[in-house]
Amino acid sequence: LGGCFFFCSSVSHRFIAKPCALGLKVQANGPQKAQPNAILEKVFTAITKHPDEKRLEGLSKQLDWDVRSIQRWFRQRRNQEKPSTLTKFCESMWRFTFYLYIFTYGVRFLKKTPWLWNTRQCWNGYPYQPLMPDLHYYYIVELSFYWSLMFSQFIDIKRKDFGIMFTHHIVAVILLTFSYVTNLTRVGTLTLCLHDVADIVLEAAKMANYCKCQKLSDLLFFTFAIVFIVSRLGIYPLWILNTTLFELYEALGNFPALWVFNVLLVILQILHWFWSYLIIKAAYKAISKGKVAKDDRSDIESSSDEEETVPRSKTLHSPITTNGTSGANGTNGYLTGGTCSEEH
């Protein structure tokens, strides 16, 4: 099923998300390309994407560019590998569609179960609890999606919290697999449904941001912040951790799977604390500056010298670089229009 998600994602991007994005006038262009330069390109691809001060000085003498212009070139070249706004919109639309579907499915399934209203029912008759077809489908779809996220993260949009997200996906896959094998699926369904609700709002906020609907994006971001903090820092420990740490022990006593399961759930809670810190930090910046600030995971590097468009040669009379490339250079941003604030 993991492969099916890759296929569905590709089909969704091309035939659904992309036409919607173009209809909403989402920019199809990516960051400004760095001007062609054989010497700098060789250093970038073969040696380092982040040259140190000593190497910058050497390149400055070799090319007759000042250090600041070379730094700008490397920054633009790194940004050149980032995806376009259109690509990011398509990714968010696919995830929004999935989270909305699976959350709706989860709510419809759980409202008919006794353990939604009484978590002690999660342990009634354990481990001899029948695996209902709806529960099996719910688990398999969620597990397949997280498997696809774990592998697609290497080819999708790279963000600064790659390590944290990869850790989250590994914990999620292990937790789903372990709970399925040990038949701890009832509480697992509660955990899945609780986690999906905030992701719906987050992906909607991203899409609004890419469409440059700033007020709607800000509203959705604050809604996401509230939903995330309430669900992950409030309901999750008081509802999920309470039943796995205390009610499960009272009902069944001590057994090895209990400790493994709870360790994984606590790791998940630690990740919730970390992300809540980032969300609160972004919300504080939004209140202080009057709009949602860039996320710490921003995809595009920025600089205070963005307004300069031409590499400044050390010799003012020479507009041509020593390797014959043109002196025209773009700003560090998008090709047209003002820069759009990065995803929340």
Is the domain of 219 the same as that of 270?
yes
At 323-337, the pLDDT tens digits run 333 333 333 333 333
Is the domain of 128 the same as that of 89?
yes
Is 309 part of a structural domain of the chain? no
Q: Which of 19, 54, 81 is the last residue before a domain boundary? A: 81
pLDDT band (50, 70, 90) for residue 276: very high
pLDDT band (50, 70, 90) for residue 23: confident
Range of the domain at 43: 32-81
CB 73 within 8 A of CB 329: yes
Angle, helix 38-46 to helix 67-80, in steps of 10 degrees: 60
Q: Which of 300, 318, 337 is the last residue before a domain boundary? A: 300
At residue 31, the pLDDT reads 66
Is 6 part of a structural domain of the chain? no
Is the domain of 98 the same as that of 227?
yes
Is the domain of 132 the same as that of 235?
yes
Please return the burial class of 306, using the count of CB atoms within 10 Å of its CB with bins 0-12, 13-18 and 19+: middle
Is the domain of 150 the same as that of 74?
no
pLDDT band (50, 70, 90) for residue 46: confident
Give the up-direction half-sphere exposure of residue 111: CA atoms within 13 A in the CB hemisphere.
6
At 118-168, the pLDDT tens digits run 999 999 999 999 999 999 999 999 999 988 888 777 666 566 667 788 888
Is 226 part of a structural domain of the chain? yes
Residue 234, pLDDT > 60, answer: yes
Is 329 part of a structural domain of the chain? no
Is 16 part of a structural domain of the chain? no
At 277-296, the pLDDT tens digits run 999 998 888 778 765 544 44
Longest alpha-carbon distance in the chain:
86
pTM listed for this prediction: 0.75
Is the domain of 58 the same as that of 166?
no
Q: What is the average per-residue pLDDT within 172-199?
A: 95
Q: Which of 51, 81, 111 is the last residue before a domain boundary? A: 81
At residue 161, the pLDDT reads 66
Torsion of CA 319, 324, 327, 333, to 10 degrees: -170
Residue 184, pLDDT > 70, answer: yes
Distance CA 184, CA 187 (A): 6
Is 320 part of a structural domain of the chain? no
Is the domain of 68 the same as that of 210?
no
Q: What is the average per-residue pLDDT within 197-203?
A: 96
pLDDT band (50, 70, 90) for residue 9: low
Residue 115, pLDDT > 90, answer: yes
pLDDT band (50, 70, 90) for residue 79: confident
Buried b (16+ CB within 10 A) or exposed e, 225-263: bebbbebbeeebeebbbebbeebbeeeeeeeebbeebee
Least confident of 6-20, 262-276, 326-340: 326-340
Is the domain of 36 the same as that of 104?
no
Is 3 part of a structural domain of the chain? no
User: How many distinct structural domains can be found in the chain?
Assistant: 2
Is the domain of 38 the same as that of 180?
no
Least confident of 6-10, 76-80, 195-199: 6-10
Contacts of 132 (CB under 8 A, 6+ apart): none
Is the domain of 60 the same as that of 179?
no
Q: Which two tokens stand for residue 108?
A: 């419809």
Q: Identify the CATH number of the domain in which residue 54 sits.
A: 1.10.10.60
Is the domain of 102 the same as that of 144?
yes
Is 205 part of a structural domain of the chain? yes
Is the domain of 242 the same as that of 261?
yes
